[in-house]
């Protein structure tokens, strides 16, 4: 009984415009929260228009809430960044902030997913990664996005937190160095650029120089979280980056996180909220920002399919506990299975899980059927593949 786990999905059609904030029925909704995809029109610093793919998760009321602007990391290939990446990869992070009172906006920077333009690394190479230029490009994108978001009735114009993972963490540090009004904190999950093999880096001196510059200019407190088993930026590299940033007295706090999974570099998008929220909550409380829950996480009681073997049961238990929306789990009568996370819609998640289940089947086996979509057991739908 074999299985495949799909952690990313193919692109779909156009998403609703920013003005449409009605929760879409194909996206998982959580009691007390609203989750809505959007395309965000912005005007960059050079007066050039751009369109950025995003997903809003916020308290279900329309009261203005502090903004948590969350941005993505970079994958190993440009094809993944452009054709596979979507905002739901960071759904669990957004849910964590939203259920503590924030209007959490996961924003894909230019060149990622369905966002327009080229990624910040376009035109660079390992010999010349242009760390500082990449930071400037991302800063302009993120500041324009924050300005557009603050025009929405559900977004506070005076309170915001910048949150980023990996290259997105670096981007948020670059943005924080501009000291945008109303931004009260920066949270950097395993941030950096130019990692090769966890031991060497593309222009490490240039990377440290850029971080030194950001730390010299910022007045905004930042929290740096790095896992013990981060394969991109292991502890020594993380501490070197932090020291460079803080050498001029930047208000920053470093937290060494425990190991997570096989590669802790992904803990922001993959680990349960309980793994990291306590450290973030302590930091937010120190900045006089919301940190207490206003909505509860779903309590799922999904029965484990009896046909699954030990590996399948373990995968399903992880599925049931995860907040990685959109997601689906498919099985067949012999115990083959496929699971999909981070789709744009529940329909995409269903299609992908069925496809991955079918790939594991031997000739002559009965078709796979959906078992769950998000936190719901669905009626059996046999699909021959």
pLDDT tens-digit readout, 346-370: 999 999 999 999 998 877 677 899 9
Express each pLDDT in 106-161 by its tens digit: 999 999 999 999 999 999 999 999 999 999 999 999 999 999 999 999 999 999 99
Nearest to 236 by CA among 204, 269, 276: 204
The answer to whether residue 18 sits within a structural domain is no
Residue bearing tokens 């990869």: 89
pLDDT recorded at residue 364: 66
Residue bearing tokens 């259920």: 99
Sheet holding 252-257, edge to edge: 33-43, 49-59, 103-107, 65-71, 155-165, 183-189, 222-227, 252-257
Say yes or no: 85 and 181 in one domain: yes
State how far the Cα of 40 lies from the Cα of 217, in Å rounded to an integer: 29
Say yes or no: 246 and 363 in one domain: no
Say yes or no: 338 and 193 in one domain: no
Say yes or no: 129 and 255 in one domain: yes
pLDDT recorded at residue 169: 98
The answer to whether residue 2 sits within a structural domain is no
Say yes or no: 106 and 163 in one domain: yes
Residue bearing tokens 């496809």: 355
* 213: CATH: 3.40.50.1820
Say yes or no: 170 and 317 in one domain: no
Q: Which positions ≥6 away from 249 have C-beta within 8 Å?
A: none
Residues of the chain with pLDDT under 70: 1-25, 364, 380-385
Query: In residues, how long is the chain?
Result: 385
The answer to whether residue 1 sits within a structural domain is no
Say yes or no: 55 and 106 in one domain: yes
The answer to whether residue 187 sits within a structural domain is yes
State how far the Cα of 168 lies from the Cα of 137, in Å rounded to an integer: 12
Q: Which of 226, 253, 287 is the last residue of a domain?
A: 287
H or E segment to which residue 352 belongs: helix 346-359
State how far the Cα of 97 lies from the Cα of 66, in Å rounded to an integer: 10
The answer to whether residue 111 sits within a structural domain is yes
pLDDT recorded at residue 300: 83
Say yes or no: 101 and 227 in one domain: yes
State how far the Cα of 142 lies from the Cα of 290, in Å rounded to an integer: 22
Nearest to 183 by CA among 92, 251, 124, 261: 251
User: How many structural domains are present in the chain?
Assistant: 2
Say yes or no: 59 and 201 in one domain: yes
Say yes or no: 143 and 217 in one domain: yes
SS3 257: strand
H or E segment to which residue 284 belongs: helix 273-286
Dihedral pair phi/psi, residue 267, rounded to 5°: -70, -25
The answer to whether residue 257 sits within a structural domain is yes
H or E segment to which residue 368 belongs: strand 368-373
Say yes or no: 60 and 127 in one domain: yes
The answer to whether residue 297 sits within a structural domain is no
- The range of the structural domain enclosing residue 331 comes to 310-377
Say yes or no: 351 and 266 in one domain: no
The answer to whether residue 11 sits within a structural domain is no
């Amino acid at each position: 009984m074999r299985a495949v786990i799909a952690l990313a999905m193919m692109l779909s059609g156009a998403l609703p415009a920013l003005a449409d904030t009605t929760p879409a029925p194909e996206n998982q909704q959580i009691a007390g929260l609203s989750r809505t995809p959007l395309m965000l029109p912005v005007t960059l610093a050079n007066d050039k228009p751009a369109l950025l793919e995003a997903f809003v998760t916020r308290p279900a009321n329309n009261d203005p809430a502090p903004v948590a602007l969350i941005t993505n990391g970079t994958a190993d290939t440009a094809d993944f960044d452009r054709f596979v990446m979507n905002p739901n990869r960071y759904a669990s992070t957004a849910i964590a902030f939203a259920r503590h009172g924030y209007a959490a906006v996961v924003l894909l920077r230019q060149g990622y997913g369905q966002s327009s333009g080229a990624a910040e690394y376009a035109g660079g190479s390992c010999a010349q990664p242009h760390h500082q230029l990449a930071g400037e490009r991302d800063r302009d994108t993120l500041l324009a996005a924050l300005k557009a978001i603050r025009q929405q009735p559900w977004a506070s114009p005076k309170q915001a937190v910048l949150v980023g993972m990996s290259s997105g963490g670096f981007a948020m540090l670059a943005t924080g160095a501009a000291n945008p009004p109303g931004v009260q904190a920066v949270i950097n999950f395993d941030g950096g650029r130019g990692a090769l093999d966890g031991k060497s880096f593309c222009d490490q001196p240039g990377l440290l120089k850029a971080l030194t510059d950001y730390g010299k200019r910022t007045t905004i407190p930042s929290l740096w979280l790095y896992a013990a088993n981060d394969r991109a930026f292991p502890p020594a590299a993380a501490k070197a980056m932090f020291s460079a940033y803080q050498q001029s007295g930047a208000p920053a706090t470093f937290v060494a996180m425990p190991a997570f999974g096989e590669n802790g570099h992904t803990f922001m998008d993959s680990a349960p909220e309980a793994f990291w929220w306590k450290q973030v909550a302590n930091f937010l409380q120190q900045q006089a920002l919301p940190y207490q829950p206003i909505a509860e996480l779903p309590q799922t009681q999904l029965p484990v399919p009896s046909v699954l073997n030990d590996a399948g049961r373990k995968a399903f238990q992880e599925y049931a506990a995860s907040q990685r929306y959109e997601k689906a789990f498919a099985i067949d009568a012999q115990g083959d299975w496929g699971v999909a996370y981070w789709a744009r819609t529940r329909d995409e998640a269903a299609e992908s899980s069925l496809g991955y289940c079918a790939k594991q089947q031997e000739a002559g086996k009965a078709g796979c059927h959906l078992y769950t979509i998000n936190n719901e057991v669905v009626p059996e739908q046999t699909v021959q593949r």
